[in-house]
Amino acid sequence: MRLELDCPVICADGPFGELADIIVDSSSRRVTHLAVQPHDQHFRARLLPIGRARIEDGKSEVVLDCTLAEIDELKPLHRAEYVRLGDRPAEDADSDIGIEADVLPLPYGSLGTTALGAGIEPLDVDPHLTLSYDRVPKGTVEIRRESEVRSSDGHHVGHVVAVVLDAQQHISDVVLEHGHLWGKRQVAIPNASIDRLLSDEVVLNVSKDEVGR
């Protein structure tokens, strides 16, 4: 099975959106869940076990065995918390943090009295930020389209566009887009050439020069 990230997702009763991410057991490299979402609406992403999806012959789309209403009833993958600078979300016994992004507050402290007008005190900096992140099952990592692929010698060699799975849903190849604007091509990296999988990153055990030979 080849899973094209960002490909269409179809429910039993109609189109739902797109395949946003795959969730992978970091030790066995088995894909356990798919993150599906309406187009460009990650805050509405939901996790479904890989066993509830199939790829039909000759098509580049994921077909689910559930209805649109059933997906909406699932717990959202994405979370947002208002935390103090330097703090992290609370530990969870059943889940880990997947892909995350910080949304910083407006730096009011950089505006002095000249910018605000004479006699007006500068505003204090809010010592908090909104931490935006995904919660994934314990022991798994999250890979999306555009997740970085790095070589063993530390070079950026491309980004993930697809994964190929064997009959037991283990990753047999990671497909990356490699090259520059006018010379981009897809390269299948076999599992044996992958050193480790992290959330939003694939690290290889081969050098930059060996990629795509």
Residues 174 and 192 in one domain: yes
User: Which sign does the torsion angle of CA 52, 65, 44, 92 carry?
Assistant: negative
The Cα 196–Cα 160 span in angstroms is 14
Residues 16 and 38 in one domain: yes
**Measuring CA to CA, which residue among 36, 49, 39 is closest to residue 78?**
36
The Cα 19–Cα 129 span in angstroms is 29
Residues 88 and 149 in one domain: no
Q: Which domain holds residue 110?
A: 78-137
Residues 83 and 66 in one domain: no
pTM to 2 decimal places: 0.84
φ, ψ at 42 (rounded to 5°): -65, -25
Residues 15 and 51 in one domain: yes
> According to the model, what pLDDT value does residue 26 have?
92
pLDDT category of residue 101 using cuts at 50, 70 and 90: confident
> According to the model, what pLDDT value does residue 33 have?
97
> According to the model, what pLDDT value does residue 122 have?
59
Please report which helix (H) or strand (E) contains residue 188, including its range: strand 185-190
Domain count, the chain: 3
Residues 33 and 62 in one domain: yes
> Which pLDDT tens digit goes with each residue over 125-184?
667 777 888 999 999 999 999 999 999 999 999 999 999 999 999 999 999 998 776 778
Q: Which of 137, 157, 172 is the last residue of a domain?
A: 137
> According to the model, what pLDDT value does residue 179 have?
73
